[in-house]
Amino acid sequence: DAKTTQPNSMESNEEEPVHLPCNHSTISGTDYIHWYRQLPSQGPEYVIHGLTSNVNNRMASLAIAEDRKSSTLILHRATLRDAAVYYCILRDTGNQFYFGTGTSLTVIP
Amino acid sequence: KAGVTQTPRYLIKTRGQQVTLSCSPISGHRSVSWYQQTPGQGLQFLFEYFSETQRNKGNFPGRFSGRQFSNSRSEMNVSTLELGDSALYLCASRATQTGPIPTGELFFGEGSRLTVL
């Protein structure tokens, strides 16, 4: 069973904010929420992660719902280089990563 | 710091053969995990090694195996190849940390693309 659910694809205009949603209704109290992205012909790369509180870094922000059953990755100003498949992942205390099928983000110039 | 290196990048095999893929983690990283990526199934966890011991294993048949050496380099082997084994095989390394909650990010290589004919 998939542990996370994401839309298959989304589009955004360049230089506009993008909100990528993820549902993880079966999350346990100790699962971390991670986001990775995969650019064409590359391996995935880390974007951000969090447990309960919202998180910010130079790449993005992560907003986590109070009940932790959903989260949203926020790219503040999409660029063409942000076009990628974004994976929302749960990481358990056994350090297993459960990748979903991801959201393919298209950035329109 | 050099990234995760996977070899070979591309290979073609026929059904029934076996294949060995290699992964060199980032220097100092002791954890190596392997993933299979296919268009239909997405990214699926195969197994993780830490200090030469397998710590976790995904839901794959016994034809998929791996090992890790004392220098943290890892290999994975697939025996009796099937057409469905055609995929991108990704390796990731992670810096381990103390404490019960794992938070270290994964660093992925560019993958080995296996085609089974």
User: Over the stretch A85-103, which tens digit does the pLDDT of each residue have?
Assistant: 999 998 877 777 788 789 9
Give the up-direction half-sphere exposure of residue A90: CA atoms within 13 A in the CB hemisphere: 25
Q: What DSSP string runs through chain A?
A: --S-B--SEEEEETTS-EEEEEE-TT--TTPEEEEEEE-TTS--EEEEEESSS-EE-SS-EEEE-TTSSEEEEEESS--GGG-EEEEEEEE-TT--EEE---EEEEEE-
Q: Which residues pair with A104 in a beta bridge?
A: A9, A85
* Chain B residues within an 8 Å CB radius of A44: 43, 90, 92, 106, 108
Nearest by CB to residue A32, choosing from B33, B42, B103, is: B103
- The answer to whether residue B90 neighbours chain A at the CB level (below 8 Å) is yes
Please classify residue B89 by burial: count the beta carbons closer than 10 Å to its beta carbon, then call 0-12 exposed, 13-18 middle and 19+ buried.
buried
Position B99 scores a pLDDT of 47
Q: Residue A109: is its pLDDT beyond 80? A: yes
Nearest by CB to residue A91, choosing from B102, B108, B109, is: B102
Q: How many residues does chain B have?
A: 117
**Spatial distance between the Cα atoms of B75 and B54, rounded to a whole number of angstroms:** 12
Closest CA to A81 of A19, A21, A37, A20: A37
Q: Each residue of A32-82: pLDDT tens digit?
A: 899 999 998 899 999 999 999 899 988 899 999 999 999 999 999 999 999
Q: Each residue of B41-73: pLDDT tens digit?
A: 888 999 999 989 998 888 899 999 999 999 999
**Spatial distance between the Cα atoms of A12 and B17, rounded to a whole number of angstroms:** 45
